[in-house]
Chain A
């Protein structure tokens, strides 16, 4: 079965006055239809850039992207239009991702209008159906974003992204800005939608308990590099890469009885502008050695569990 999405050696570099910023550096992975790939990392790791590059909201510098088997690394305008109906995005900030001057129904209608193939009647019917699907009351049709709370605004954003029946959705921290109880509601909604519409998600977040809950597989990113990829529960049971270990140890659980050894990382995140060769985590890693200056090999330590650290995997 061809994976719905395949990424090979994807790179995105930005030009800055101080040099090239390596936002996404040589990332490769596959994603099966109907599954969720979680992408975790801290600020500056490049996860948001990765999501946006897949959708051509940012143009990739090099590498290949395959969607449903078709090479979409470089697309012309016409192809992009069609692609955009299949690949959508949900944004993090429910406050800035909605046009303050558009009502709920106008916001959802916009993508439908732009498709140029729906009659007014059809659009209105779709809007009604979408609002019902995401749990927005009919009476909110003419409401403006500032009249709604964060959870409802996010539902509008979700309805908008579903308008053209996409197959793949990049969820860029969709619940990070919401209160805990609303988060849970939206997560449930996203799961229901996945089931009923056979959606595939790329779920970008920094919240580790959420990513474990919602993902089938998880990618851990550090400064543009993919350091570990594994099935979700396996990653938490058996983290291999030193960064993953440190990251997981830093999570604060709402439990007063488990004692955890926190791995405190030394130093600060280094600059992603013209970064050092090899592993970028090395300066802060307690296992660092000379070999870390070389490009690390990707090793499959257990089925489906890939790690990019020669010291940890013993591949030197």
Chain B
């Protein structure tokens, strides 16, 4: 899974397998996911609810609730260092300062009884040894960076609108200038016009700070606007991966195709959408062979058995399908 670059990738996920055990059932949430991320690159993890995207990302940060989640196997290398085997003490040093995460719902991600300035300062104090006065200046700088006046340091979350709250959350995540940012649907809960503002800001900051980003989303529009590479996730596996041109101009996997057809276009004249038939599989009872085969209009007998590997069909473009 090496990229063509000569330098080591910033992040390398190798054959990650994560299971949840609930009520005696084993839920195969992530089934052998591998991908890499270079410095300064943004990869989008696209898929629907339950595909396993959040689980993958939480595994990187090692914040999966254990129980019921368990990383069964796989390795995650960050800057060459393996994370899954790292003692918690050292992992804590990485969380928040080297790798940080933005969660989906800004309404609940902020603590309502502390001022926003204090919440950002807390992150700084945890990871840097700085005095109060210095922290105050730094926090104001960070707030300005995300487009909020430094004078609002002492205000509380309820005094901010949804979009502003998300900016604060982003400010917190970026305060220690992490090399890797994990963003879990950062703009889903926001209005369209606010979403545009926030994504613009994130794009700008990414460039300024050189941050690499894993962006989880189900919205292909966001992927087009904010990501360099794309990994399409279905039932705990990556079914297609490549750069933007590969996925948007000639996506090959039937699921990718289905996703594009489910969205009404803004210029077309279709009178009927072509949704993907059926429902995503039960992760506690995955089908034999290709996970997508029960819903696939191209499914052949060979698709219903055996293991279908992720193969490189052209440089940088990977596909898990029998069709080519």
Contacts and interface: CB of A to CB of B under 8 A. Distances in A.
**Chain A bound to chain B:** yes
A288 to B, nearest CB: 17
B275 A184 contact: yes
A280 to B, nearest CB: 15
A52 interface: no
Nearest to B162: A43
- Interface SS of chain B: helix, strand, loop or mixed? helix
A265 B193 contact: yes
Interface in A184-213: 184-185, 187-188, 191, 206, 208-210, 212-213
A218 B222 CA distance: 24
Interface residues of B, number: 46
Interface stretch (A54-62, A165-173, A251-259, A301-309): A251-259
A42 B194 CA distance: 10
A46 to B, nearest CB: 14
| Residue of A180, A183, A191, A208 with most chain B CB atoms under a 10 A cut-off | A180
Given A209-B264, A256-B248, A247 B193 contact: yes
B221 A254 contact: yes
A99 interface: no
Given A42-B191, A256-B244, A265-B193, A180 B161 contact: no
Contacts of B218: 179-180
A254 B264 contact: no
Nearest to B277: A185
Nearest to A186: B275
B245 A42 contact: no
Contacts of B163: 268
Contacts of B49: 150, 179
B263 interface: yes
B194 to A, nearest CB: 8
A251 B191 contact: no
A253 B197 CA distance: 15
A212 B161 CA distance: 28
Interface string A238-280: 0000000011011111111000001011001100000000000
A262 B78 CA distance: 36
Interface in B272-301: 272-276, 279-280
A294 interface: no
Nearest to B51: A179
A63 interface: no
Interface stretch (B8-16, B91-99, B208-216, B254-262): B254-262
Given A180-B218, A180-B262, A254-B248, A246 B273 contact: no
A247 B262 contact: no
B111 interface: no
A254 B247 CA distance: 10
Nearest to A266: B197
Interface in B226-266: 244-245, 248-249, 258-266
Contacts of A208: 192, 266
B219 interface: yes
A213 B261 CA distance: 13
Contacts of A147: none
Contacts of B199: 252
Interface in B173-218: 191-197, 199-200, 218
Contacts of A150: 49
Contacts of A210: 264
A255 B224 contact: yes
Given A187-B273, A254-B263, A246 B224 contact: no
Contact of A209 (B261, B263, B275): B263
A198 B238 CA distance: 43
B224 A181 contact: no
Interface string A208-222: 111011100000000
Nearest to B265: A209
Given A42-B192, A42-B193, A252 B264 contact: no
Given A254-B221, A264-B197, 4 more contacts: A180-B262, A214-B264, A233-B269, A256-B249
Please list the 8 inter-chain residue pairs (A to B) with the smallest Cβ-Cβ separation, ordered nearest first: A252-B221, A184-B275, A213-B264, A254-B220, A42-B191, A184-B262, A250-B196, A179-B48
21 contacts: A179-B48, A180-B259, A181-B48, A181-B258, A184-B276, A187-B264, A206-B192, A209-B263, A209-B266, A210-B264, A212-B266, A213-B270, A214-B264, A249-B196, A250-B196, A251-B266, A252-B222, A252-B224, A253-B221, A254-B224, A256-B224
